[in-house]
Structure 1
C-alpha cells in the first residue's frame, strides 16, 4: 500500500487512524499481532522494529528467544474487524545482537529466498499460483477433552441430520454429499460467501468465483485469481482472516480443518501453478501432453518425486490424513492426469488460454503455513527441471482413469502418499536436500519444524483415546 513513510503518515492523518497493528506469522501458520497507539508511529520503527519472544512463536528455544519484527508497509490495510480505526500491516522477523538481520526461518523470508533461487537459476521470473479455499461454515460448535470426557458437538442447520429440529426449521436440508453447486434456498450461506468475496476484493484479492461444495453440512469454496507466490501467501493469510472474521460477524463459525466431520467431504487447498519468464507462460506447449511444455512435465516430475516429503509442509496436521483416504475426491495416489480428481496432480481440462495453461497440486490443505507450503512446492518443481525428472519415464502417469476404480493389483503399483503426519515427517527426514538449495530452507529450520510437529502436535494427539476405539475395543 505504501512505498515511503511519508505516504503512510499522510494516510494515517487523512483517514484519522487511531491504532497501528502488526501481524506476524507463527511457525504453524497463524497470525499473531501487536498494536500501538498512532502517536507511537515513527520512522525508526521500520529500521529497529519491535522486540518479541520468538519461542512463543515456535521459532527458538526459551534461552535464545529474543527477536524483533519489522513491518512491511507495502502490506498495510485498514482492518475491517476492529471497532477502533486500525491500520494493520504484515511484519518480517529479524534476529538481534551479534546475529542481527533477517531470520532465516521467517516463513516470509523463506518464500523470498525460494523466488530468488528460481531467478538465479535463470529458469523463470515468476512462480504464479492460485489456491482454492475450501472450508466449512457451522452455526455452532463445542468441544472438550478431559481424562474422563471427550466430546465434539457441531450444529449445522442445513445438514441432513437437522431434519428433526423443532425451531427455525424450514425443511430445506442439503442431501448428504450432494452439496456441490447446490442452489437457493438450500445454499443458506450464499450471501455470507458473497460478503466474504466482496471483502477480499476490497483487500486487493481478486475472486474468481465462489460456490457451495460437496459437503452437506456447510462446505463452501472461494477460488481466487492467479498471482505471484509470496503475494499469494500473504493473500492466503488474508483470506483465512477475512473468512473467519466475516463468519463470526454473521453469527457463524468457519473452519479450515481438512476433516472436521466423519463421513463428510474433506476440505483441501488445491494449488494451481505455472512459471513465467518475460511475461510468457513456460508451461504451455500446444504439441505437448495436454498442451504442457517439457519444463512443465519436469516440474510435475519433481513434485511427484518429492511428494511424500512435501506433505510435511503441505499437509502438516494430524487431521490432514483423515481427509487423505481412498474413495473421496482427495487424492492419495502419486500420479498425474488431465481432468482427473483422483490424481495428486491434475491438469484442468477447462483451461484454454495458453497464458494460463497450468496444473494443480490437489493434496494440500489450509492447515499449511502458506509461505512454507508454496515454497516447498516451488523447490520440488525446480529440482525436477534442473534434474530433468520426466514423470512419464518415472512411472507417474499419465493416469487418465479413476484410480479408485482400478483393480487392487493395479492400484498397488501406484505409490501412495503418507497416511499420517508421523509418516510424512519421517519422509522429510530422508528427503530434504532439494529444499536446502541456496539456503532457502536450512537444515536447522527443517529439524526445528519436525521437532515442533512431534512435540506440540503428534505427542498431544497420539495418547488420547477416541470414542470409536471404545466402540471397537472396550469389550475385548
Structure 2
C-alpha cells in the first residue's frame, strides 16, 4: 500500500515524524539513481502540479529541443531513507519536458518507457499485467581498489572468506569457502548471513517482499536475494531500491557490494534471472496442463519472441563489456539460444517446481543487474508480445526444448545451435539490425536507441583500447 494518497498526508507525516528533507530520486540513461533534495516544508500542491525543474542534458539521453525538464514526484513511492543522518523522505517519480503548450512525458525517461510498454500490452488485448520476479546475485566484499593509468592497469578485491586467504597469518579463523563451493554454504563459512537478514528486513520496511536469501556458488562472497513476484514497472522501481539498499548497507557495515556480472575470474558470475508470466482479467495466460511443461501456446509464443530477439535484447539486458565475461560455458550461465525445463544451460529455463496454474512461468537467464531495469523489463515484454502477435513457435524454429546439458554437446552438435553475442559490440550490432519490436507504438523512441547504442559503443571501444594485464603475460616476450 502507498504511504500517501495526497500531499496533505505527506505533509502531516513529515511534521509528525520529524522529516526535514525530501529527496527526489531520478534515473539516468544507464540506470543509476541521481537525486536532488528540497526542505520538507517546500513540498506542496505546486510541487505535485509543476514539478521540480532540472537540466536533463547531463543524464545521457538523446538531445531534445529543450533540455529543461521537470520531475513530477509519485507519492506512492515515498519512504523514509534509512541511510541519511538528517531525517529524509525518499520519493521517485516521472519526468516531463517543457513545451509551449504545456508539459508532456519525456519519452526517453526509463520509467515512462516501462509505463508505455505496459500500455501497449493492454491496448493489444493480449494481457493486462506482466508479472516478473528477478533474482539478484551480487558479491559482498571487504575491499576493492582499481587503477587505470598509461603505465599501470590493475584491480584488486578481497573478502576474508575467500579460500585465497587461508594462509594469512594472524587473526585467521580458518573458515574459508572453497572455489565454486559456496552454494547454500552454512555459517560460520557464510559470514554475511546476518548482514543479508538485516537487508531483507530493510527491504520489507520499504515494501519489497523477499522470497529468500542465501549464499551463492562463488566462494568469495557471492550471495543472492530473490524477491516475490510483482508487476513490471513496480518491480523496476523495486530493483532500483534493492540495489540502493544493498550498496548503502554494505558501506555502513564497512563492506562493499557489487552487482558486476563477472568481478572474479574463474568464479561464478552475477546474473539477474527474470521470472515472468502474463495475466488477463486476473487469470494466468501461461498455464496449460496439456502443453509442454504445463505451458500454454501463448507462453510458447512469448518464449519464441524472446528467443527470436535474444541477440538484440542482450544490448539492453546485458549492456556492459563485463556482461559477456559471465556468458561463457561452465558457470551455469546461458550461452545457447533455446528453452528447456530445469536446464540452467539454456537461455530460457522452465522451473519444474512451479506447477500451480497461477504461478506457471519461465525465467530468462541471461540478464544481469548492470542493465537499466526499466529498459530491460520493457524490452523483454515487447519481445515477448511480438512473439505472441506473430505466433512464433520456438520448437518450429529449432530452439528446443533442449532437455540435455548443452555444455556437454559435441562440437558437431553445437554447430547447429544459435548462441548469444560474445561481446557488447556484437549485441549492439544486433540491436541496430533488430529493433522494430521495441519501437512499435513509440514505446522505445528511435533517438533513445540511437543514443544508447552510441554511448555503449563508446564504452566498448574504450575497454578494447586499454592494454590488458593478461596481454603482458601472453605477448611481452614475443
TM bracket, shorter-chain basis = over 0.9
Deviation at 1:12, TM superposition (A): 1.2
C-alpha deviation, 1:61, in angstroms? 3.8
Query: 1:134 maps to what in 2?
Result: 137
The answer for the alignment partner of 2:279 in structure 1 is 276
After TM superposition, the runs of 4+ consecutive aligned structure 1 residues lying more than 4 A away are none
| Cα offset, 1:64, TM superposition | 4.4
Alpha-carbon deviation of 1:62?
A: 9.2
Residue 197 of structure 2 corresponds to: 194
Partner of 1:51: 53
1:70 aligns with 2:72: yes
Deviations 1:311-353, CA, capped at 9 Å, x for gaps: 0100001100010111220101000000000000000011122
Report Cα offsets for 1:184-226 as digits up to 9, x if no partner: 1100000001111111111110000000000000000000000
In 2: Cα distance, 1:474 partner to 1:56 partner: 41
Q: Measure the CA separation in 1 of the matches of 2:477 and 2:54.
A: 52
- Please report how far the alpha carbon of residue 93 of structure 1 lies from its aligned counterpart in structure 2 after TM superposition: 1.3
Question: Equivalent of 2:435, from 423, 428, 432?
Answer: 432
Which residue of structure 1 aligns with residue 477 of structure 2?
Answer: 475
Alignment partner of 1:391 is 2:397: no
Match of residue 162, structure 1, among 160, 165, 170: 165
Whether the aligned pair in 2 keeps the contact of 1:54 and 1:60 (CA below 8 Å) is no
Within 2, Cα distance between the matches of 1:364 and 1:61? 28
1:415 corresponds to 2:415: no
Q: Is the 8 A contact 2:62 2:448 kept in 1?
A: no
Identify which of 239, 247, 251 aligns with 1:248: 251
Instruction: Verify the 8 A CA contact 2:62 2:447 in the aligned structure 1.
Output: no
Residue in 1 that maps onto 2:43: 41
CA distance in 2, matches of 1:405, 1:295: 31
* Residue of structure 2 equivalent to 1:15: 17
Instruction: Give the match for residue 211 of structure 1.
Output: 214
Q: CA deviation at 1:14?
A: 1.4
- For 1:283 and 1:121, how far apart are their aligned partners in 2? 17
Q: Residues of 1 paired with 2:435 and 2:158: CA distance?
A: 42
**Deviation per residue, 1:73-117 (Å, 9 max, x gap):** 110000000011000100211111337311000110000000010
Structure 1 CA distance for aligned equivalents of residues 426 and 49 of structure 2: 42
Query: C-alpha separation between the residues in 1 aligned to 2:236 and 2:64?
Result: 28
Cα drift, residue 65 of structure 1 = 2.6
Alpha-carbon distance between aligned partners in 2 of 1:468 and 1:302, rounded to the nearest angstrom: 39
1:323 to 314, 319, 326: 326
TM-score, scaled relative to structure 2: 0.98
Question: What is the CA–CA distance in structure 2 between the aligned matches of 1:470 and 1:54, rounded to whole Å?
Answer: 42
CA-atom RMSD, angstroms?
Answer: 1.1
How many Å apart are 1:125 and its aligned residue? 1.1
Instruction: For residue 119 of structure 1, give the secondary structure of its aligned residue in structure 2.
Output: helix
**CA deviation string 1:146-167 (max 9, x = no partner):** 1101121111100010011123
Cα distance in 1 for residues equivalent to 2:68 and 2:415: 50
Equivalent residue in structure 2 for 1:309, among 304, 307, 312: 312
Aligned to 1:92: 94
**How far did residue 168 of structure 1 move?**
2.7
Query: Within 2, Cα distance between the matches of 1:371 and 1:167?
Result: 47
Tell me the secondary structure at the aligned position of residue 52 of structure 1: strand
Quote the Cα distance in structure 2 between the aligned partners of 1:62 and 1:36: 26
Partner of 1:24: 26
Cα pair distance change 1:470/1:79, threshold 3 Å: same
Shift of 1:46: 1.3
State the SS of the aligned residue for 1:44.
Answer: helix
Partner of 2:291: 288
Give SS of 2:100's match. helix
Count of residues in Structure 1 that have an aligned counterpart in Structure 2 = 475
Structure 2: distance between partners of 1:126 and 1:473: 54
1:354 alignment partner in structure 2 = 357
Q: Please say if residues 71 and 95 of structure 2, whose CA atoms lie closer than 8 Å, have aligned partners that are also in contact.
A: yes
Query: Cα offset for 1:309?
Result: 0.3
Native 8 Å contact 1:140 1:154 kept in 2: yes
In the TM superposition, residue 63 of structure 1 has moved relative to its aligned partner by 8.2
Q: Distance between the aligned counterparts of 1:58 and 1:322, measured in 2?
A: 25
Q: Give the one of 124, 128, 146 matched to 1:121.
A: 124
Distance 1:307 1:452, change over 3 A: same
The runs of 5 or more residues in structure 2 that have no matched partner are none
